[in-house]
Structure 1
Amino acid sequence: MFMSETLYVPRKQADGQRMPKRSRGTAINPHPRFEAEVREAVDDGWEQGEAARPRTTVTDETAKTIITRNASPDIGFDRSINAYRGCEHGCVYCFARPTHAYLGLSPGLDFETRLYAKPGAAALLRKELSSPSYRCRSIAIGTNTDPYQPIERTRRITREILEVLSETRHPVGIVTKSDLVVRDIDILSEMAAHNLTKVGLSVTTLNPELARTMEPRAAHPQKRLAAIEALAKAGVPVAALVAPIVPSINDHEIEAIIEEVAKRGATHVNFVLLRLPNEVKEVVRDWLARYFPDRARRVMSIMQAMRGGKDYDATWGLRQRGEGPFAKAIAERFALAAKRHGMAIGTIRLRTDLFRSPGAHSPQLDLFG
């Protein structure tokens, strides 16, 4: 009754609407909620090709700290690291989009084209871990923007962070949509041997056409599955995330995704319901109208039914799961599929007792040993 049987239909253009920019998640730039002035693009007839295809720009950011703390009771970590702001993957549904408003930028197209990198992240991390007051608990990487988005291939900031964590034997959990994580399998496998790391691969859909529409610059679904397999074979604990589940768009794939990731060696699995905080609701509504005009109203109607009549409910414990009959059906289907394939729902616990402060183990101290 609650399960959608509708399969993905290739992109359709609604009457009078312009299709999104090529290889971008959205074509709109909703007004940042903190800005007093509103700017509106106007087509004066002189627009050229370059203006129609915005390029990705990367600005170096001089951060003062690198470990971000949180007190959210419904997530399994209290600290995280984000090497980048914004994400070129362009996932239309990304709940982190609203963070770009703090920079005076739009959570729309700006979020996926105007990126910020933190080249001093590893040095900052070493400094913060050296503090006498620091107490070791698992650090999460990839909570806001993907640590293995395309610019990581050349910037290598995430790898530098992992090198510090490996040296200090500090536990770390990674979440990504990219097979680039396999590049660092040398570090990850060594840490995994001491139960110091885990990787979560997000598999939103097995349909490459739908994936290209939902997350245009993220890795192909088959590459993500291959990454799960490679990590598992190297001894790295892998969890698969079906995130987000969007009613009438990809919820019919739950069982198929769980079966496939289990075959590749993932031992844990979890899911997140579509979240629509702040400007994300505008971006997703526009996306639905452009690509799925035949079911846009249905999607939002189901979402509101799971959110107490609202587009979004940020209540802890409900924001990732929702409530009501549809949400209950999703959770039950997920649990049954996971049980069928011998997978655990939840998180993988890491060791924290092996941590050694970088200050206490500086190579320079060996000169006086």
Structure 2
Amino acid sequence: MNFGIVYILLLILVLVLGLLFGKNHLKMFFFISDILISLPAFFVRPISFQYFDTIRFSNLLDQIRGIVNVSGSIGGLQWALQNSEYHAQPLVAGYLWIFSLLKYNGFLFGVTTFIFLMFLSGILLNIEKIYPYTSTSLIVIKTVILMTFNLFFQIEGIRNFLAFIIFAFALTEDVLKNSKKNKLCVYILYLIAVLIHPSTLIFVVIRIIVGFRQISIFNTIFYDCFWVLFFLMYNRFIELIVSILQKFSSISFINYVYLKSQSYLYGQANYKAYASQHEIIFTSLILVILFIEFIFYMIISRKENAVNRAYIIAYLYSIAFTIGSFQNTQVYLRAIEMILFLSIPLKARLFNFNKANNNVYIVLLYEILIVFFAIVAFDFWYTSTYVKVLI
């Protein structure tokens, strides 16, 4: 059976159970549902003659496991930290080493997917603590996100989208909850996200830029316009950005980022981007839908129960960066998925809009659009990816 059939059956089961029984015990329901949804990831394998990164990571685990068998656990760890392709990312190398100690490679994909889903649930639970939103709407939103997002990208890639969802969770803790006692944990999560995948660094920079708006001289429309324009046109400054990275390339992690920037920040033709034209077009359509959603939010938003303004500004900057990355295909495609994760608080606000308001028809139109598009997205990912993966 292919991954797509198992996955959609699990999503339907989880949605039905959530609507029937999960409303009063949302945290426990999310925990159990995350276990269920992550189960197929333990057993995925590509069809014959199809290559996915699951094969690359499995081969790497086997390689580390072989070193462990010869040199012991510590020897395997040393090899992972010093000689593996992730030697410049000790957190990733150590993480892979842990799973090499287990005999079955599927644990890496299953456990990592479960962690990803837990952080996704954590975003929704954070929102529930802050705003008077219904559990039903949060369950529906989670289903919409999972149908719109290609979960197999997380399963096979391990790092990128895990880093993104950790950042998105940390941002809700940092900006929406704004709890001073959790600030240290938030900063640690930001750091972990960057160490897992350096592409998260730009979003941490955006968070820092938004933080300067607390200073009165920067809390202006001109400040926001400047940064929006900068992110839209940042490609013009690629040479400067890369030269700065090169100056600090003596630091192992910075050198890794610098080397990756050679591939990702100079524009990529389709044959170098590891993405089909259909994937680029459809993922761009996701960005269009998210931008329409943002417009809907700005139309109906009021002070009551509105999402924190600093969060909205960070979201706007992130959209500008994503659009500005259009020529850098992989950066562009991955950033769109980050926008999808960051859109969760906006979705929660729109799904819980007061239906007695004059804008009720706009909201109903939005809800129909977003659910319909989630179905279309799942169908696209099914035919382009899920059908090529077996359980």
TM-score, normalising length from structure 1?
A: 0.26
Q: Which one has more relative contact order, counting CA pairs under 8 Å at least 6 apart?
A: 2
TM-score, normalising length from structure 2?
A: 0.25
The structure that is strand-richer by fraction is 1
